Amino acid sequence: MARRPFKEPLFPPLTWPQREAAWKERERHLLLDRNAAWEQLGEAHGRADRAEAEVRTLKAELSRARTRIAELESAHRADDAQADRAAPVSPPPWVKPDIAKKARKTPGRKAGHAAALRPMPAKVDQVVGVPLTRDERGRELCPRCRCALAELRSHERVVEDLTPANVLVTKFKTRSGRCVSCDCRVEGRAAHQPPAADVPHGQIGLNALALGVMLRVRQRLPLRQVCTVLEKMAGLTVSPAGLVKQLKRIARWLEGEYERLILQMRASKVLHADETGWRIDGKNAWAWVFTQPLLTLFVMDPSRGRKVVTDVLGEAFGGTLVCDFYGAYDGVACDKQRCLTHLLREIKDLGTRHGSFAADPWAVKLKKWCKDAISHKKKWKALGDDEYEMKASRLEDRLDALVKLDPAHPEARRLHKRVKKYRRELTRFLWDEELEPTNNPAERALRPMVVARKISGGSRSPEAAEAWSKLSSLLATQEQNGKNVLEETKKLLVDYWATGER
């Protein structure tokens, strides 16, 4: 085998002094590394000790937090249980409270009342003979078994029915001309013919207009349902938009009648007023009502302020206004009677929400006084003048005594402040036969508006709301005066058309 050639080393070998110096340098570096490692280990032990102390602190805080949470949950459960025992969960706003069993009325009229039957028609339009089946010998037979009948009798059965309605199309051939004096163009028009309009279709006639107003305003049918009734019952096609336009025109035609209602209302001796919410083009507004036995006036306004009341009643209203405790009525300078039913209703509601209020002596006395005052007014004709006035004076004294007391319950103090403020407006009904202790007439007059609001949701424009208020006022007043709404509306339209105005 051949031997490898000898190569010189890359570095020359170290001498013993060089080796000794290298070992010492290496030892020095090892000592430095060891010291650095001990320092790092000490720092790690310090960090571990600090972390362990922090963990102990956090565990202590967590334990205290859990204890506090348990205490709060226990107290919350106790409060919930107490609240559940004190008052039931409030129902949604559209849910009415249940009527107490003792307050429920028996359905129907009272026993022994006079019969309320439809009168027999005064005229018979047609007579129809309805014979029994006869055999070949002329004997009347039973339709079931074909046997001869005995104990024969004659009967008259009167049936009232509706005549199917049909559209009556009338073409009015008129003439027009321009006046040489006033330069107005005039056109002939029949008494029952609506004002002329240049439209590409037939105009809606008197009967259809009056029926549409009654169905929409008084019967509160939605617009599309009114159109459906006119089409299905009579074959007259009207669009909802066209019906709205006609209602606005009719309201404009009868605006003079509405203004006359305002003047009659301002001359009333006693007037009831109330208000409820209404929507106009998606915005909140208010429907106001002013009513007396022979008149009802509705007003639509975006405001619920006193300016509405003063504008409607005027500055010289000399009657007595029956209303609730809403502050807008305070601005009218006239005699007022506040509604006692509102007081009783609030006392009942507060007693339901606050058990302590129901037991408050002052609230109990006020409730008793309201009921006694209302009951006493019902005896106006039954009692003699002296006896009635004596008991009415005692009621006045009892109310004065209540005003002088200082109730303890916060809600009772709030009611006490109200009673004290309106003291003279709580007992006027005791001395005036025409005054009522409640505002029930105004609330009854508003119910059709509330029903209409639930059905249609309000009005889509201020003009539609104004038309609704005017037509509702006229039709409600007609019913109060015992008039046929349909015929009276037709009469008002014919009277207006006779003036020749548009």
**Following DSSP, what letter does each residue of 129-182 receive, concatenated?**
--PPPB-TT--BB-TTT-PBP-S----------PPPP----------EEE-TTT
pLDDT attached to residue 84: 60
Query: Which pair of tokens denotes residue 227?
Result: 């159109």
When mean pLDDT is compared across 4-8, 122-126, 129-133, 137-141, the lowest value belongs to 4-8
Residue 419 has pLDDT above 80, yes or no: yes
pLDDT attached to residue 197: 76
Other CB atoms within 10 Å distance of the CB of residue 143: 9
Those residues whose C-beta lies under 8 Å from the C-beta of residue 408, and which sit 6 or more positions away, are 360, 362
pTM, 2 dp: 0.75
pLDDT in tens, 206-236: 999 999 999 999 999 999 999 999 999 989 9
Other CB atoms within 10 Å distance of the CB of residue 270: 18
Residue 255 has pLDDT above 80, yes or no: yes
pLDDT in tens, 187-200: 888 888 888 777 77
Those residues whose C-beta lies under 8 Å from the C-beta of residue 476, and which sit 6 or more positions away, are 218, 296, 298, 445, 448
pLDDT attached to residue 502: 44
Query: What is the rounded average pLDDT of the residues 140-146?
Result: 89
Backbone angle region of 205, left / alpha / beta, with phi > 0 → left and psi within -120 to 50 → alpha? beta
pLDDT attached to residue 136: 86
pLDDT attached to residue 459: 93
Tell me how far apart the alpha carbons of residues 442 and 157 are, in angstroms, rounded to a whole number: 44
pLDDT in tens, 458-499: 999 999 999 999 999 999 999 999 999 999 999 999 999 887
Does 1 or 296 have the greater pLDDT score?
296
pLDDT in tens, 426-461: 999 999 999 999 999 999 999 999 999 999 989 999
Query: Which pair of tokens denotes residue 251?
Result: 């309201």
Residue 10 has pLDDT above 60, yes or no: no
Task: Specify the pairing of strand 185-187 against strand 176-178.
Answer: antiparallel
% of the chain exceeding 90 in pLDDT: 60
